Structure 1
């Protein structure tokens, strides 16, 4: 159990961020534990085909026996939506001593795998080698999927912002994950990999909450001295790899048309026009036309999240899409 104590100022400083670089590092765990990360199996299948002859053994050796990864490879982002190259540049500037210490910490006193052990004699060179390898790995296996991943992550940010606006911290933390609870100014985390019992004051450092695609349970840096960051699984992760949209209610399709009904069904989470077009197999222009009609009917709304405009069902749209009774005044 980890307890993070937040004062009023800390709540005011709490922010959200997503990171392409963190996703690349966290995805390494899927190769080692595919059964545990079952939702990511469609991605893993494509990644194996895309990898070519790239040897990622040194990257896989970074994952510790309890799925932890070195803190220097998962820095807290400086921007709400951190790009891969910017985060990679930060990693290249990590002091060599921290590289060595973080890799050793991940392996919890066990011998570091041989594929990394030799490199630790010259940690600066190892750091640069890992950075180059991560860049090649990202380009081959994740960069083509990033627009869809970012859409899911930004949709989560929009949802959390709405929760915070409606009910403050209590509502914000209520459904981040079953292993995250909030009470009396303390955020409690039940982590799936071993940590010491810790009580960490946040005062003055700010808390960053990070939705992630390649996360199944809450996570934090191994070193409590790192900037306080909590990762959690984003809503709608399974839809990242989805190729077919969910079917809408038959009666609704008769009422508003098959395509508009399918769009409403897809909006069980906020989504961008591009995301909807991909899932429906139509052009973004066609989706935009249907969304304009649905907005005019009061069934969907929209809001900007980062560089994307996300659409979401209104309460009336929810009731129609789920077949719930609609009260007529």
Structure 2
């Protein structure tokens, strides 16, 4: 079990961030083991043939047999919306000694894979060359496999953060962490992550706060591999089941579609959690302007609410719409 001991100041400094680099690095697990997450198989089929001349053997050697990844490849995001380029620049500045330590800790108790072993056991110059080769590969892999999908991935992540912020506002830290994942538990000022691989550790946040990073490619909570890293917890985002959906959602059963129209009924069924117009347009395979017309009607009739989140306006159905949908008829996204 891994535990973060948190004081009042650490709770006050608990916040969220997006990390396109962490998303990219974690997707290597699915690339290596398709059976790890059946939800991402459509993505894997779409990208596997476009990796071209990338050295996938070196990339996939970063993923340990137990599915852990080197901490230095997922640095703690410095801002709420860090860019991939900025995060990769941080990785390129990682000292050779830290690269060695993280590679060994990641793969322990197994030996390092052949593509990593010679450099990691060599001179600092060889470790730096390996670090640069990995960064160059990740840059190309991001462009080919993740960046084209990033706009829709980001929408799912932002919807998740909006949900978590509401949990924090209505039920405090206890409700936030209770809703995060079954393996995460908040008890007596300690955030515990059960079911972790290895011996685990217990570390004090000690005024550094806690950073929560939602990821669509995380299959379980992913704290750092070692206790030397400031408290950060990557966790599986909500809404992943809709991410690679190929067909528009069906209208909910009942008379609601006859009352307000099938398209608006389907829209309401999707709005159990806040979503932006462009994400709804993607799911329904129509233009954002077409969705906006329906949302204006639903807003004017009190069936949806809207709130600005950064540059986007997020829509969510109201309690009146919940009653019209009948609750149980609405699938959980």
Q: Same fold (TM over 0.5)?
A: yes
Q: Does 1:249 align with 2:252?
A: yes
Q: 1:324 to 1:102 in 2, by over 3 A?
A: closer
State how 1:1-329 maps to structure 2 within 5 Å. 1-120=1-120, 121=122, 122-196=126-200, 198-250=201-253, 251-323=255-327
After superposition, give the CA deviation of every residue in 1:89-139 in whole Å (9 maximum; x if it has no partner): 111111122112111111114321111223332111111111110010011
Verify the 8 A CA contact 2:223 2:234 in the aligned structure 1.
yes
Shift of 1:208: 0.6
- Name the SS for the 1:210 alignment partner: strand
Q: Is the 8 A contact 1:248 1:265 kept in 2?
A: yes
Q: 1:28 is paired with a residue of what secondary structure?
A: helix
Residues 324 and 124 (structure 1), Cα distance of their counterparts in 2 relative to 1, 3 Å cut: closer
How far does residue 324 in structure 1 lie from its aligned partner after superposition? Answer: 6.2
In the alignment, the residues of structure 2 paired with residue 45 and residue 80 of structure 1 have an alpha-carbon distance, to the nearest angstrom, of 31
Change (3 A) 1:185 1:32: same
SS at match of 2:219: coil
- Whether contact under 8 Å (1:190, 1:218) holds in the other structure is no
Q: 1:69 to 1:307 in 2, by over 3 A?
A: farther
Offset, 1:322: 4.1
**SS in structure 2 of the partner of residue 40 of structure 1:** helix
Q: TM-score, normalised by structure 1?
A: 0.94
Q: Measure, in 2, the Cα distance between the counterparts of 1:36 and 1:248.
A: 31
What does the per-residue CA deviation read over 1:68-87, in whole Å, with 9 as the maximum and x for residues that have no partner? 10000011111112221111
Q: What secondary structure does 1:235 align onto?
A: coil
Provide the C-alpha distance between the structure 1 equivalents of 2:268 and 2:133, rounded to a whole number of angstroms.
Answer: 47
The Cα shift of 1:214 comes to: 0.6
In structure 1, stretches of 5+ residues that fail to align are none
Q: CA deviation at 1:323?
A: 4.9
| Cα distance between partner residues in 2 of 1:200 and 1:287 | 48
Equivalent residues of 2:2, 2:196 under 8 A apart: no
Q: 1:207, CA displacement in angstroms?
A: 0.3
Change (3 A) 1:324 1:112: closer
C-alpha separation in 2, matches of 1:203 and 1:320: 48
Deviation at 1:195, TM superposition (A): 3.4
Does the Cα contact within 8 Å between 2:17 and 2:81 map onto a contact in 1?
yes
CA–CA distance in structure 1, aligned partners of residues 2 and 111 of structure 2: 27
C-alpha distance in structure 2 between counterparts of 1:318 and 1:231, whole Å: 31
**Partner SS state of residue 36, structure 2:** coil
Q: Provide the C-alpha distance between the structure 1 equivalents of 2:117 and 2:308, rounded to a whole number of angstroms.
A: 46
The TM-score, its normalising length taken from structure 2, stands at: 0.93
> Could you tell me how far apart the structure 2 residues matched to 1:116 and 1:201 are?
32
Q: Distance between the aligned counterparts of 2:194 and 2:311, measured in 1?
A: 33
> Which moves more between the two structures, 224-233 or 184-193?
184-193
